[in-house]
């Protein structure tokens, strides 16, 4: 999937937002969601397959929300009113010159809906996963609201402690079928992403989300996906999103995880639905999208053990050109050497074994 490029922008109220892009093709922008860290997510066992899929098929653009990840932590205004403004500034910084797909995950779905209503001419496809129409404090479920408040207070008091038990009460709801490595990574992400007080403030902002009046105003093609047994956001909220947006397509996923894990069939169903909805062809097994014709010629020659001089002779180009093109190939494969490229090619069946 190549490498990501991380940059910073300064918002209108002076906050430094970290944003990143990777891949080529139809631009796909992800609205910010809870608990992200641009660099840590890229390497993680929980989000890595999301990165590989999205950056492998699209020009994938995302950012860490204010107060979290690589964006400024000490922020005065953490209200939901800022989410849309921040997304708009990321889109402008990315200089996207064509209509793009917009992805909203969890509370990011509300921001994505608001953006699509304000800028319908800019959004070609609206994709909402695990989202909700109203937050926990605004639903007609007093018991759920009470439990949510208890989690917020636990987060505020126990998040920064060395004992991961506090954070695991929170993270286990996100990936109940996660293996020890994945659960441990998500616990560690909590500490890398934000402080307890900031996290509690953001959770309360999420609990007050309400986009009921916006749904009927959405005028772009919309795909809504939701896990049937999602432990964080009720399935009914996904149904509510889809039923409120004119013409929205709804896909029920057989999962209890709020963050879909690579080993579960629901992840494959999610990928297939998104590719079909956006009209993007699935890449050949394991093949990174965006390799040029020349790079596809270079790879099998590399795997044959040919040196730069032999490759140059075979292709009728200079050795300097070979070196430059190999550098680009390594970047796209996410490796740093000839041996790494060969190993990647064999592992992902990028060359004909015959």
Torsion angle of the four alpha carbons 27, 95, 205, 164, in this order, in degrees rounded to the nearest 10: 70
Q: Which domains does the chain have, with CATH numbers?
A: 5-278 (3.40.50.1820), 293-347 (1.10.10.10)
268 pLDDT above the threshold of 80: yes
- Identify whether the C-beta of residue 244 lies closer than 8 Å to the C-beta of residue 212: yes
Q: Which residue has the higher pLDDT, 73 or 256?
A: 256
pLDDT in tens, 41-99: 998 999 999 999 999 999 999 999 999 999 998 887 888 889 999 999 999 999 999 99
Mean pLDDT of 319-325: 89
pLDDT in tens, 277-306: 999 875 444 455 567 778 888 888 888 888
Name the token pair of 115.
């953006």
337 pLDDT above the threshold of 70: yes
**Mean pLDDT, the chain, as a whole number?**
89
Treating both helix axes as pointing N-terminal to C-terminal, what angle do 81-93 and 108-118 enclose, rounded to 10 degrees?
A: 70
Residues 6+ apart with CB under 8 A from 145: 136, 137, 139, 207
Which has the minimum average pLDDT: 38-47, 220-229, 319-328?
Answer: 319-328
In degrees and rounded to multiples of 5, residue 196 shows phi and psi of: -60, -45
Tell me the C-alpha distance between 140 and 131, whole Å.
17
Percent of the chain having pLDDT more than 70?
94
142 pLDDT above the threshold of 60: yes
Mean pLDDT of 26-52: 94
Which has the minimum average pLDDT: 121-135, 232-246, 260-274, 314-328?
Answer: 314-328
């Amino acid at each position: 999937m190549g490498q990501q490029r991380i940059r910073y922008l300064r918002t209108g109220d002076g906050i430094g937002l970290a944003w990143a892009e990777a891949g080529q093709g139809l631009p796909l922008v992800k609205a910010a969601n809870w608990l992200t860290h641009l660099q840590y997510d890229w390497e993680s066992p929980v989000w890595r397959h999301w990165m590989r899929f999205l950056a492998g098929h699209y020009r994938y653009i995302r950012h860490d929300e204010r107060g979290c990840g690589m964006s400024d932590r000490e922020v005065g205004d953490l209200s939901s009113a800022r989410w849309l403004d921040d997304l708009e500034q990321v889109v402008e910084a990315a200089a996207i010159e064509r209509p793009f797909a917009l992805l909203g995950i969890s509370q990011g779905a509300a921001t994505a809906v608001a953006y699509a209503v304000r800028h319908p001419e800019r959004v070609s496809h609206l994709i909402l996963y695990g989202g909700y129409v109203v937050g926990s404090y605004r639903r007609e479920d007093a018991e759920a609201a009470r439990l949510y408040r208890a989690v917020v207070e636990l987060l505020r008091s126990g998040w920064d402690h060395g004992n991961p038990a506090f954070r695991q009460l929170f993270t286990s709801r996100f990936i109940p079928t996660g293996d020890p490595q994945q659960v441990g990574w998500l616990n560690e992400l909590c500490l890398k992403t934000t402080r307890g007080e900031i996290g509690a403030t953001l959770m309360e902002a999420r609990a007050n989300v309400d986009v009921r009046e916006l749904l009927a105003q959405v005028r772009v093609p919309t795909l809504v996906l939701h896990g049937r047994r999602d432990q964080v956001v009720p399935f009914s909220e996904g149904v509510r999103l889809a039923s409120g947006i004119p013409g929205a397509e709804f896909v029920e996923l057989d999962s209890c995880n709020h963050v879909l894990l690579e080993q579960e069939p629901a992840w494959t169903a999610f990928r297939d639905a998104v590719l079909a909805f956006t009209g993007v062809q699935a890449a050949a097994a394991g093949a990174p999208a965006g390799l040029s014709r020349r790079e596809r010629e270079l790879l099998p020659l590399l795997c044959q053990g040919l040196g730069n001089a032999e490759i140059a002779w075979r292709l009728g180009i200079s050795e300097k050109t070979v070196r430059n093109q190999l550098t680009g190939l390594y970047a796209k494969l996410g490796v740093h050497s000839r041996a790494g490229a060969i190993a990647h090619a064999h592992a992902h069946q990028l060359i004909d074994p015959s």
